[in-house]
Chain A
Amino acid sequence: MSSLARTPILRQRRLANGLFQSICAVSAVVAMTILGYILWFLLRQGLEYFKPTLFIRLPDNVNPALGGIKHSIIGSAGILFIALGISLPVGILSGIYQAEARGKLSQSVRFLTDVLNGIPSIVIGLFVYAIWILPYALKHPGQGYSGLAGGAALGIMMIPLVMRTTDEMLQLVPQSLWDASLALGTPRWRTMLLIILPAARNGIVTGVMLALARVAGETAPLLFTVLGNEFEGPFTGPIDALPLRLYKYATSADPVQNSIAWSTALTLILMILTLSVIARLITRSGKK
């Protein structure tokens, strides 16, 4: 005869259950609270200098409070543009390769892509320095840094992300679409270019924008490649970028520059947020 009553042991187990559930809930809350606090602090501190002068003026060495970070914003935008130029062709084409080919070679490529993805960003910056800038700097000491090199470093970081997103989005296109096109006698390149890629276009664009958002905040690779600048400059020479400016002002001894650092951080976060939001909107619009 089994009893369904609540014995002391059962009560104990239920207590333990509640305890465990609470621990897990509290962990989640703690994690979110800390991170929420960081964001709130950022907003509070950053609003002080978050005004139009920040965006349209260059740094003012005489009166730092009047200066801005216009060149950093332009620099970041330009570097991201260059990064796109490098990562899009290589990333999308190799993503197409993955979707089309099945075999040992494509497996090796996928493996190496994962490896590339896991390399710390500072190492990638160092790589670009070692092969592009160092040889030049040996003959012309202190020179060789450029926005192009920075864009190259960020582009290299984006390639695995773009490749993976292209591959995944192409695989999502239903097989029947491939069949219908090929049954008309359409050659493979035309099927891919005119039917399959357009079908996957939204997903790929989203993935690319998310990749951009990911590398927009990277500082370490820029340390060795674009060096930083107080002024605007051509992209063939050293330029400034938002994360670099942030680093410089955050570690500076001048309290005004420290304050501007918060606003720079806010600007950077907003830029990343915008990219992410646009990416999500594109996904949403495609689904309609």
Chain B
Amino acid sequence: MNLPGGTIHGAGDRYNWRDSAYVSAITIASMVLMALVLAIGSALLWQSLPAIRTLGLGFITSHEWDDAAGKYGSAAFLSGTLYSSLLAILVSVPISICSAIFLAEIAPKWIRLPVTFIIELLAAIPSVVYGLWGIFVLIPLLRDKVMTPALASPSITKIPIVKSLFTGAGYGPSMLAAGLLLAIMITPFITAICRDILNAIPSMQRDAAAGMGCTQSETILKVVLPSAAPGLIGAVMLGFGRAFGETMAVTMVIGNMTPNTPDGKSLGLFDPGYTIASAMANKFTEATPGIATAALIELGLVLFVTSMLINFAARSLVKVAMRRLG
């Protein structure tokens, strides 16, 4: 069965071009991927140039967005995005972190798998379905059970900080609705990441604390959480980034109007508002080619840059935390 003599030459040409083609194909695919990200940034920049040139910095600082008058200022949208996202984080974080602690530390083994499965499932519900529920369930609920009573109550108007928050038009679509709905949406997301981070902490640390006579809560609060802190913060930031870029659910419950106050700004939770994403979704159909469209694309550019920064910071934190835990 032997070939006469052994040969280690020849047959080389047979493989060379196919191997080169293979290497080329996979390298080109990776290049395409890289190019995409750069293309997105450049395309948005390019198509928004007319607006950038005309409006300059006023785009970011001005609160007025008036198509007819040719005024385009996104400050209202920016603050709306920040407000709603912060609200979402405020509500979601305690619940997410405590749920993650429950899942990772406290729950008996047999509960963990089904609950994890449910959380994964819930994270898969599309934004627009949350929005649907928001319109027909959350808004009426808030309007009837929270806003109307609060607005009618004499005592609320007396408490200093509360009175400027729990105020506004109060007919339903509002910053409150958006914040709460966002909170519901990002909770499964943040919980899942926090749970992974907590699970990554070596059990030796817990054993050491328990060996000193700590209760489980003391172990968690004094040993586990401090270790996990950078990662948990990263998870929260990722959730914030999610809320920041969320479009459909927010559009459907936030009202897409500027509040009826003299300067168009309002801290009132019961007032409607805008976020960058909801403004984009909302104004798209009315945008005429030219400055209007360019301004819209510039909005997209702002969103692109800000969410990239937030995500980048968040991922770095999570990565540093995971590496520290080894």
Q: Is B32 an interface residue (CB 8 A)?
A: yes
Seen from chain A, the residues whose Cβ lies within 8 Å of a Cβ on chain B are 13-14, 16-17, 19-21, 23-28, 30-32, 34-36, 38-39, 41-42, 45, 89-94, 96-98, 100, 105-106, 108-109, 112-116, 118-124, 126-127, 130-131, 134, 137-138, 141, 156, 159-160, 163, 187-190, 192, 213-214, 216-220, 223-224, 243, 246-247, 250-251, 258, 261-262, 265, 268-269, 272-273, 276
Tell whether, in the assembled complex, residue A251 and residue B43 are in contact, meaning their CB atoms are under 8 Å apart: no
Binds A, one of B15-23, B51-59, B264-272: B15-23
A13 cross-chain contacts in B, Cβ below 8 A:
215, 218
Tell whether, in the assembled complex, residue A219 and residue B102 are in contact, meaning their CB atoms are under 8 Å apart: no
Q: Is B200 an interface residue (CB 8 A)?
A: no
In this complex, the member of B40, B119, B130, B221 whose beta carbon has the largest number of chain A beta carbons within 10 angstroms is B40
B27 cross-chain contacts in A, Cβ below 8 A:
97
A232-B252 Cα distance, complex, nearest whole Å: 26
Tell whether, in the assembled complex, residue B289 and residue A90 are in contact, meaning their CB atoms are under 8 Å apart: no
- Please encode chain B, from 302 to 326, with 1 for each CB lying within 8 Å of some chain A CB and 0 for all others: 0110011001100100000000000
Tell whether, in the assembled complex, residue A28 and residue B115 are in contact, meaning their CB atoms are under 8 Å apart: yes
Q: Which residue of A lies closest to B302 (CB)?
A: A123
Main secondary structure of the interface of A (DSSP, over half): helix
Seen from chain B, the residues whose Cβ lies within 8 Å of a Cβ on chain A are 15, 18-19, 21-22, 25-30, 32-34, 36-37, 39-40, 43-44, 46-47, 94-96, 98-99, 101-103, 105-107, 115, 118-119, 121-122, 124-133, 135-137, 184, 187-188, 191, 215-218, 220-221, 241, 244-248, 252, 277, 280-281, 284, 289, 293, 296-297, 300, 303-304, 307-308, 311-312, 315
Please give the distance in Å from A94's CB to the nearest CB on chain B: 4
Find A130's partner among B22, B218, B297 (CB 8 Å cutoff). Answer: B297
Main secondary structure of the interface of B (DSSP, over half): helix
B15 cross-chain contacts in A, Cβ below 8 A:
187
Tell whether, in the assembled complex, residue B18 and residue A31 are in contact, meaning their CB atoms are under 8 Å apart: no
Find A138's partner among B101, B221, B289 (CB 8 Å cutoff). Answer: B289
A182-B34 Cα distance, complex, nearest whole Å: 31
* 13 pairs of residues in contact across A and B, judged by CB atoms under 8 Å: A42-B132, A93-B25, A109-B33, A119-B304, A120-B304, A126-B297, A127-B40, A127-B43, A130-B297, A137-B289, A220-B281, A224-B284, A265-B129
A28 cross-chain contacts in B, Cβ below 8 A:
98-99, 102-103, 107, 115
Given contacts A32-B115, A90-B29, A118-B312, 17 further A-B contacts (CB under 8 A): A25-B107, A27-B95, A35-B122, A35-B184, A35-B187, A41-B133, A94-B33, A98-B30, A109-B33, A122-B245, A126-B296, A127-B300, A130-B300, A163-B33, A218-B126, A250-B128, A265-B132
B133 cross-chain contacts in A, Cβ below 8 A:
38, 41-42
Tell whether, in the assembled complex, residue B125 and residue A38 are in contact, meaning their CB atoms are under 8 Å apart: yes
Q: Which residue of A lies closest to B185 (CB)?
A: A35
Total contacts A-B at CB 8 Å? 249
Say yes or no: A23-B98 contact (C-beta < 8 A), given A134-B47, A219-B126, A219-B248. yes
Say yes or no: A116-B37 contact (C-beta < 8 A), given A97-B30, A187-B19, A251-B252. yes
Please give the distance in Å from A259's CB to the nearest CB on chain B: 10
